[in-house]
Amino acid sequence: MKKRIKFSLVYRDMWQSSGKYVPRLDQLLKVAPYIIDMGCFSRIESNGGAFEQVNLLYGENPNHVVREWTKPFKEAGIETHMLERALNGIRMFPVPKDVRRLMYKVKKSQGVDIARSFCGLNDHRNLELSIKYAKEAGMISQAALSITYSPVHTVNYYMDIVHKCIEYGADEICLKDMAGIGRPAFLGRLVREIKSSYPDTIVQYHGHSGPGFAIASMLEVARAGVDYIDVAMEPLSWGMVHPDVITVQQMLKDDGFDVPDINMDAYMKVRSLNQEFIDDWLGLFINPRNRYTSSLLVQSGLPGGMMGSMMADLKGIQVGLNGYLESVNKPVLSEDDLLVMLFNEVERIWPMLGYPPLVTPFSQYVKNIALMNVMSMVQGKELFSMIDDNSWDMIAGKAGDLPGELSSEIVDLMMSQNRGFYTGIPQDNYPDVLDRYRTEMESNGWETGDCDEELFEFAMHERQYRDYKSGIAKQRFEQEVERVRSESVNSVGEIKVPDGCFVVSSPYSGKVFYNLDYFVSNESVQEGSSVVKGHRVCYIKSGTTYLEVVSDRDGVVRKLCCNSGDIVGKGDALIIIE
């Protein structure tokens, strides 16, 4: 009897891995019937990760979006699954226990069937509550392994996590190969070991196609006994996303597997609608390089979904670095030069940082440290001089145990800055908060919603929810779209820098905030303020992440080049310091 392989369409991840935004609800509802008509999907990804923050960013209520998006699939008998980050919930930083618990009740009431839960550090302690709360809410708990490739990430390492997750009550296991660097034979051995130990446990494979291993990996895990495979479809398949369902289906069919047929008329309609959405506005935020695979990702291990932001980062710092190189009569660097330097630096520092799996948010932390080091190398400055607080928390163990040992250089750096190490359970650092948010909503006259879904959204994404409620999110989104369409940029070259001064430039694109209470008039950094080398001078909100910008020298602020909330590009002047 042929082994049956089922497919899950990671529709929203297709967009998230390609660019900044995902389709609006009207676009999702337009394409949903044709996805169903394709007849080949048993599951579809519905929400989670950064998706709900993205809804808020452009002025949509994510609770309404999730409910309406899951409805047609449930009616068609197709299961839906969400992605959540354990301790970090569906945001980029830790979530209090009571908010995590409410999340599953809310998502179950909105029609989501499966909670795919992963810890970016593979710390099973962070997964324990995810499994418990998902089961408590009546959801299927799918514990995900963050797959990477290193001397410490062995089959035994991953099986230790599997054993714990099954002990906690997980119903399914997912291999989340977020960078696509899991070697095919290794993944096959891992699936075989899981199935040998737990033959009745469903195993699902999620693999990005960035470095090119994914299609071979899919064949290997299928032969090893996997039950579901995540797929994408044109024009958002391959590249930094996922292999296309047509290729995967034909490959498995030829190898003797029982796979569903694809209604090609419906496939072409979905393909056409995807292109329509790209042409409408979503394509404005898709980096063309994301359409290509890159073997360079094998070396760095960075997830393909980061390529867009990485290239934007490099494009930004290229302006400032080449300006410096020209001033000292040295050859300038191309974008490819910087890309290779960045990949090399990621490869060098990753073991030093304890081999954290390069998945959100830890991939961003490692990349940011590497990027700052590249800037320091080019300018002859001290390495590791600019590390943000989130990265320090990862190093200190506040997010969970690192898989490997920190290098002595990093430990010495921690000690020199009087930073201690945390050895407790990460969740214990974050006390319950729902009562406080409920009180504020009542005083504002805001409804907490069915099953407290609006309360959940406020507590999970406070800043974005406030902007959504005030209407400023939609206004900013429309301004951003208009700015990108007009390709108007602010560059350092347009700022006149007085003699004896230097410019702090933005290493990222996004919105600048001189503190995180930007709706308050007083700024933490103002003209005339003193700044200290290595200290934060502002934040850049890039996508859904708030990234710190630090000064590389002491001085006094001569001029703020932007206002809080302004949109800036990479390399734009932020502050002039004297």
Domains and CATH numbers, the chain: 6-288 (3.20.20.70), 490-577 (2.40.50.100)
Task: Please give the average per-residue pLDDT across 5-15, as a whole number.
Answer: 95
- Nearest Cα neighbor of 104 from 437, 453, 544 is 453
- DSSP letter assigned to residue 142: E
Tell me the C-alpha distance between 432 and 525, whole Å: 31
Tell me the C-alpha distance between 61 and 332, whole Å: 46
Query: Does pLDDT of 215 surpass 80?
Result: yes
Output the CA torsion 166→172→177→182 (10° steps).
Answer: 60
| Local confidence band at 319 (pLDDT 50, 70, 90 cut-offs) | confident
Confidence (pLDDT) at 307? 56
Confidence (pLDDT) at 521? 39
Query: Does pLDDT of 410 surpass 70?
Result: yes
| Local confidence band at 223 (pLDDT 50, 70, 90 cut-offs) | very high
Confidence (pLDDT) at 348? 93
Confidence (pLDDT) at 493? 45
Alpha helices, H only, 177-306: 184-197, 214-224, 245-254, 264-280, 296-300
| Local confidence band at 519 (pLDDT 50, 70, 90 cut-offs) | very low
pLDDT tens digits, one per residue of 333-361: 887 888 888 888 988 999 999 999 888 78
Output the CA torsion 157→159→164→165 (10° steps).
Answer: 120
Task: Please give the average per-residue pLDDT across 543-571, as a whole number.
Answer: 79
Alpha helices, H only, 379-515: 389-396, 408-416, 434-444, 453-460, 462-470, 472-486
Confidence (pLDDT) at 527? 81
Confidence (pLDDT) at 465? 95
Higher pLDDT, 493 or 341: 341
Most confident of 286-295, 309-318, 347-356, 363-372: 347-356
| Local confidence band at 491 (pLDDT 50, 70, 90 cut-offs) | very low
Q: What percent of the chain has pLDDT over 70?
A: 92
| Backbone torsions φ then ψ of 510, nearest 5 degrees | 150, -155
pLDDT tens digits, one per residue of 259-277: 999 999 999 999 999 999 9
Report the chain's mean pLDDT, rounded to a whole number.
89
Higher pLDDT, 547 or 312: 547
Contact yes or no for 229/239 (Cβ under 8 A): no
Alpha helices, H only, 120-243: 124-136, 155-168, 184-197, 214-224
Tell me the C-alpha distance between 55 and 447, whole Å: 19
| Local confidence band at 447 (pLDDT 50, 70, 90 cut-offs) | very high
Most confident of 192-201, 231-240, 286-295, 568-577: 192-201
pLDDT tens digits, one per residue of 156-176: 999 999 999 999 999 999 999
Query: Does pLDDT of 462 surpass 90?
Result: yes
Higher pLDDT, 419 or 221: 221
Contacts 24+ apart (CB under 8 A), 420-423: 420/396, 421/396, 421/397, 422/396, 422/397, 422/398, 423/397
Q: Is 566 helix (H, G, I), strand (E, B) or coil?
A: coil
Query: Does pLDDT of 535 surpass 60?
Result: yes
Q: Give residue 411's identity as a one-letter amino acid code.
A: V
Contact yes or no for 483/566 (Cβ under 8 A): no
Tell me the C-alpha distance between 206 and 371, whole Å: 28
Higher pLDDT, 339 or 453: 453
Q: Out of 151-165, 323-337, 403-417, pick the least confident.
A: 323-337
Confidence (pLDDT) at 70? 97
Q: And the tokens for 504?
A: 């702090």
pLDDT tens digits, one per residue of 18-47: 888 899 999 999 999 999 999 999 999 999
Task: Please give the average per-residue pLDDT across 305-322, as a whole number.
Answer: 67
Confidence (pLDDT) at 488? 36
Q: Helices 389-396 and 408-416 sit at what angle, rounded to 10 degrees?
A: 120
Tell me the C-alpha distance between 111 and 574, whole Å: 44
Query: Does pLDDT of 554 surpass 80?
Result: yes
Confidence (pLDDT) at 543? 60
pLDDT tens digits, one per residue of 370-388: 988 988 888 888 899 888 8
Confidence (pLDDT) at 18? 86
